[in-house]
Structure 1
Amino acid sequence: MKEGVIAVPKRLLGLFLPHRAAVPSEQADASTTAESVVAQNTQSIDSQGLFVLGAARSGTTVLQNALNDSRDIFLFGEPSFQDDPGKADFAARYNAMHRAWGNQETKSSFCPAFFGGDAPWSDYLRHLATLYRYVGSKIVVNPEKSQATCQRVFDFHCRYFYRSHYIFTFRNPIDVLMSTRGLAELNGDVAASYETVLSSFVRVIALYIRMLRNLPSVHAVFHEHIDETIFRDLGLKLRVDLAHAASYYDKKRVRHYSLDDIPVDARESARTVAELYEDLRKHALAGFGLVQLEQNSGHFDIAHYTPLGALQRRVDQWLAQR
């Protein structure tokens, strides 16, 4: 060994190499585990992560499409990275999924063949990070298993994408409720119960509050307020051009519902969640203050709480009763 030269073990060499030319993980040592591959690939790009989150039928797809209009952004559509085992066949599985759904090829629905063979999802994301300012995905919380999904999403993103940007999209819960059940029935599936859909919606609010308080870059947009101003502000935050993003929204195609469309036995629950949503929207649009103020959820005086603390308390109470 030459004097002054430090020998670096092969298994650590990848941590110090520039990521401009991504190498598929299939070329790594056989002893490298899928988990360590994800850690290596995401370590240097976590600040480039951009993720759209929301309950089913809350506007996640249109927001993803609008953001993907930018030449600086590439977002996969529902790849469920948090559940992916890291097998080296991501593109084959992902593209087959979207073909089965009948989706035309766009940035949201197609993974290009960047490598000679296939590779794990984290290899594709790392490579895309050399081509785009932001890379990530859309994450939809479906009514079934929403509690487990929210927990996995939080744990996964804290571990691998702590510095990423997160945009939650919300929509009136009555519209979400009826749209979710209506789509299931249209597809010939068994529709989730009214209570299940509403609880899933509240769990997404809980996830938003949790991520807002624990991660450095968390935002929320509301379907009823989407316009050029919203995308101008998002563009400034992300330092990207989103001038054409608002054109993806056609309010004439959005159907609205009322409490009268909901069966009587589910109406009170829907009304409670709608009131919770209206308070969330009002305070989020005004800008939550004192986000890091620690408050005891058992305090009996409602005047004790900040707006965010009061929302957290109401969310906790709702979920504890179900």
Structure 2
Amino acid sequence: MLSTPQRLWQVLKPNPQREESPTAEASGIAPPDDRGLFVIGAARSGTTVFQNALNSSPDIFLLGEPALQDDPGTPDFAARYNAMHRSWGNQENKSSFCPPLFGQDAPWQHYLARLARHYRYVGSKIVVNPHEAARTCQQLFEFHCRHFYRSHYVFTFRNPIDVLMSTRGLAELNGDEAAGHDTVLKSFLQVMALYIRFLRNLPLVRAVFHEDLGEAVLRDTGAWLGVDLGEAAGYYDNARVRRYSLDQVPEHARALAEEVIAAYEELRGQVAGGMRLVQLEQNSNHIDPAHFTPLGNLHRRIAGLLAAS
């Protein structure tokens, strides 16, 4: 019996019956940006289950955490991506395996362009981890404006206390050094700020909240995308979702946690109300709080929390 690496080599090795990689003669190839679909969220905020739910559609193919904004663009994308997911112990599916679409390997742009021939939407799940969240959010904004301006974006959010405790708990379970409480909470704020930035600057952006996800939200998302997500609700099982309370947060981080919870609930309320007056220009230095729209005030509030030491 072939080992796993041997089986993978049988799949990826050159085959004259398959089309060769277009790297040499078509370096400018790129997927159509209006066919892109990306799920963005903080670590432990429900990005994985939402990606899997979307991937249940035969019209969608989303890669799992390829970090395209950091990818060197070399013609070995599938080998690197698939090796990463094998190292994580993930079984092969849409979310964890880039299929061998060429006789030889190719850059990520070529895979998304080829997948776009078979799927209505192609893209990825993007997780903003606590460390270097500010840098990652800036990279994501610049990268997606440049390459996927007309794509669809769904930001996933989850109660920040659940995100905080789950993120630290998973790191400790894996034997890794857990990010500090303030670091995790501020990375959550960075994702909120990134959502507002995307919402104000890119044309097709929305948010979903883990606590609200079910048939109604998924049906609405499917209508927005124009695809059938009839199987998607089956991926959600509330019995498997662990929840935490503010009492479990150490005293030294509790004040910031309360502030982040308040900002999160304000965001949920605004999204539920339709995010009005998104394009109204406002000056963050205005001295009269009544000057701000709800979204402008939330943006100012988040900026203040991030600027605090």
Residue 90 (1) aligns with residue 77 (2):
yes
Show structure 2 runs of 5+ residues with no match. 1-18
CA distance in 2, matches of 1:88, 1:188: 33
TM-score by length of 2: 0.92
- The correspondence for 2:280, drawn from 287, 290, 293, is 293
- In the alignment of these two chains, the number of paired residues is 292
Number of the residue aligned with 2:205: 218
Q: Which secondary structure state, in structure 1, belongs to the residue aligned with residue 99 of structure 2?
A: coil
Q: Which secondary structure state, in structure 1, belongs to the residue aligned with residue 254 of structure 2?
A: helix
Number of the residue aligned with 2:240: 253
CA distance in 2, matches of 1:111, 1:288: 36
Show structure 1 runs of 5+ residues with no match. 1-21
Alpha-carbon offset, residue 303 of structure 1: 1.6
Q: Which secondary structure state, in structure 2, belongs to the residue aligned with residue 167 of structure 1?
A: strand
Q: What per-residue deviation string (whole Å, max 9, x for no partner) do you get for residues 80-111 of structure 1? A: 00000100000000000000000000100001
CA distance in 2, matches of 1:62, 1:285: 21
CA distance in 2, matches of 1:248, 1:285: 23
Change (3 A) 1:290 1:23: farther
Number of the residue aligned with 1:41: 30
Judge conservation of contact 1:68–1:75 (CA < 8 Å) in 2.
yes
Residue 152 (1) aligns with residue 139 (2):
yes
- The correspondence for 2:217, drawn from 221, 230, 250, is 230
CA distance in 2, matches of 1:285, 1:244: 24
- The correspondence for 1:275, drawn from 262, 266, 290, is 262
Judge conservation of contact 1:25–1:120 (CA < 8 Å) in 2.
no
Percent identity among equivalent residues?
Answer: 64
Number of the residue aligned with 2:97: 110
Alpha-carbon offset, residue 305 of structure 1: 1.0
Number of the residue aligned with 2:10: none
Number of the residue aligned with 1:24: 21
Residue 166 (1) aligns with residue 153 (2):
yes
Number of the residue aligned with 2:44: 57
Number of the residue aligned with 2:7: none
Judge conservation of contact 2:20–2:103 (CA < 8 Å) in 1.
no
Alpha-carbon offset, residue 295 of structure 1: 0.6
CA distance in 1, matches of 2:60, 2:35: 10
Judge conservation of contact 1:73–1:132 (CA < 8 Å) in 2.
yes
Judge conservation of contact 2:85–2:96 (CA < 8 Å) in 1.
yes
TM-score by length of 1: 0.89
Residue 181 (1) aligns with residue 168 (2):
yes
CA distance in 2, matches of 1:180, 1:296: 35
- Alignment root-mean-square deviation, CA: 1.3
Number of the residue aligned with 1:244: 231
Alpha-carbon offset, residue 244 of structure 1: 1.1
CA distance in 1, matches of 2:21, 2:261: 47
Alpha-carbon offset, residue 23 of structure 1: 7.2
Alpha-carbon offset, residue 27 of structure 1: 2.8
Q: Which amino acid aligns with 1:41?
A: A
CA distance in 2, matches of 1:24, 1:282: 48
- The correspondence for 1:307, drawn from 285, 294, 298, is 294
Residues 118-133 of structure 1: pairs in structure 2 closer than 5 A: 118-133=105-120
